[in-house]
Amino acid sequence: MAYTRAEDVQIDVWQKLGNEGWTWKDLLPYYLKSENLTAPTSSQVAAGAAYNPAVNGKEGPLKVGWSGSLASGNLSVALNRTFQAAGVPWVEDVNGGKMRGFNIYPSTLDVDLNVREDAARAYYFPYDDRKNLHLLENTTANRLFWKNGSAEEAIADGVEITSADGKVTRVHAKKEVIISAGALRSPLILELSGVGNPT
């Protein structure tokens, strides 16, 4: 899977919408903390792989890198010239806040094992034996439910879930609810919970 972040202007809009502290600059340390980039090899660099060390982490849990099968030769050079002739610039690192342009971007990849890196490999498997961590397999999060209080200070109290047998249950949070259902499912859960447009 491609590993690319949103543009800085897209992230900065979050603060303009009233979310103080949610800017590209404020979030960059967290991006760096989550990422474990394997630098491209010399042959991958020759094929067009490039990155900026200032905007890539090397000690986080999520492994990122370029595939060993990255095409070599002059294809990326020819593509870059073609795009530049059309007014599309070269971008050294799409994860630096500016995405518009041609780039050979990295993937979520464990380079040593040559397998796709995902949330389970990065964040679950290393900690699956913890006593305070419980995984509900074959379960879908439907929506959040809220503590009683004003809409301005809405605090999630738990999650409504559906198990594989179709049973709908409410799971209450002891401390907090963290939504981490990906780029498509997280907004859907929020909307079905009354945040934004539920239709």
Report the CATH number that the domain containing residue 88 is assigned in CATH: 3.30.560.10
Task: Compute the mean pLDDT over every residue in the chain, rounded to the nearest whole number.
Answer: 91
* Whether residue 123 sits in one domain with residue 89: yes
Q: How do residues 88-97 score in pLDDT, each as one tens digit?
A: 999 999 999 9
CB contact set of 164 (below 8 Å; sequence gap of 6+): 137, 138, 139
56 and 152 belong to one structural domain = no
135 in any annotated domain: no
Percentage with pLDDT > 90 across the chain: 71
Mean pLDDT of 159-167: 97
How many domains in the chain? 2
Stated pTM of the model: 0.80
Q: Tell me: the pLDDT tens digits for 27-69?
A: 999 999 999 999 999 989 888 899 999 999 999 999 999 998 8
User: Do residues 107 and 187 share a domain?
Assistant: no
One domain, residues 116 and 28: yes
CA 73 to mean position of chain CA atoms: 31
- 190: Cβ–Cβ under 8 A, 6 or more apart, which residues? 144, 179, 196
Domain that holds residue 117: 8-127
Residues 121 and 149 in one domain: no
